[in-house]
Amino acid sequence: MTSQAQRPQAQPLTRPDGTPIRILAVDDEASLTELLSMAMRYEGWEVTTAGSGSTAVQEARSVRPDAIVLDMMLPDFDGLEVMRRIRTEQPDVPVIFLTARDAVDDRVVGLTAGGDDYVTKPFSLEELIARLRGLLRRSGATTARPSSQLVVGDLTLDEDSHEVTRAGDDVSLTATEFELLRYLMRNPRRVLSKAQILDRVWNYDFGGQANVVELYISYLRKKIDAGRDPMIHTLRGAGYMLKPAGA
């Protein structure tokens, strides 16, 4: 097996000492903080959540986050007060505010008060992660990964440009196909169940409609494996595995 095939995934953003990025996610909707946690842990980051302003201040003091995702409206006091209290001890910690779609005043006030960015609800997890990455890089909290490429055998995926090639040939994928392939390539030689794939790629349970995974695996096979030695394998009753051809 080649050294490329042994490499499971590109190095994620980390702190300068090599330890995982620490994020504090604050919102009183538990379902939302769970979703945020899942997306951020997928990036290799450590996530602490809080459902109130007072808890957020306590957690910030404890974990010393590298960035904070902060809802403007909380049950005890608002996001501006949370930011003010946290920044008495961490004056430079970046803050992204979550605001209601029509709360223009909140956004203006939040940015004027020192917030670094904001996203409006409902929002795209991909957009939020991208904005967090930008904030972390600008704040100097991270060490950028040396490469954005995932490589398994002769299959290469660039996480930044979204370009995919196999044996040097370009492979055109839809956004969902790309996310599915990325998840498989981040976990080479590992059996991934349909439930795991639904959770990571689609971000929620399809209520038993696991056939959507089968459908997209078939799409990928037509684009990745057609006319070549297969890389995507089905383990009946267990799930799917991606590994170098012939390995």
pLDDT tens, the chain, 247 aa long: 333 333 334 456 787 767 889 999 999 999 999 999 998 988 889 999 999 999 999 999 999 999 999 998 899 988 889 999 998 998 889 999 888 755 556 555 555 566 788 888 888 888 888 888 888 887 777 655 556 788 999 999 988 888 999 999 999 999 889 989 999 998 899 999 988 888 788 765 445 566 888 999 999 999 999 899 999 999 988 999 999 987 7
> 207 and 222 in contact (C-beta within 8 Å)?
no
Helix (H) or strand (E) holding 152: strand 149-152
- What's this model's pTM, rounded to 2 decimal places? 0.54
185: nearest Cα among 154, 161, 211: 154
**What pLDDT is recorded for position 106?**
55
**What pLDDT is recorded for position 205?**
47
Residue 153 φ/ψ, nearest 5 degrees:
60, -130
Distance spanning both ends of the chain, measured CA to CA: 7
What is the distance between the alpha carbons of residues 161 and 89, in angstroms, rounded to a whole number? Answer: 38
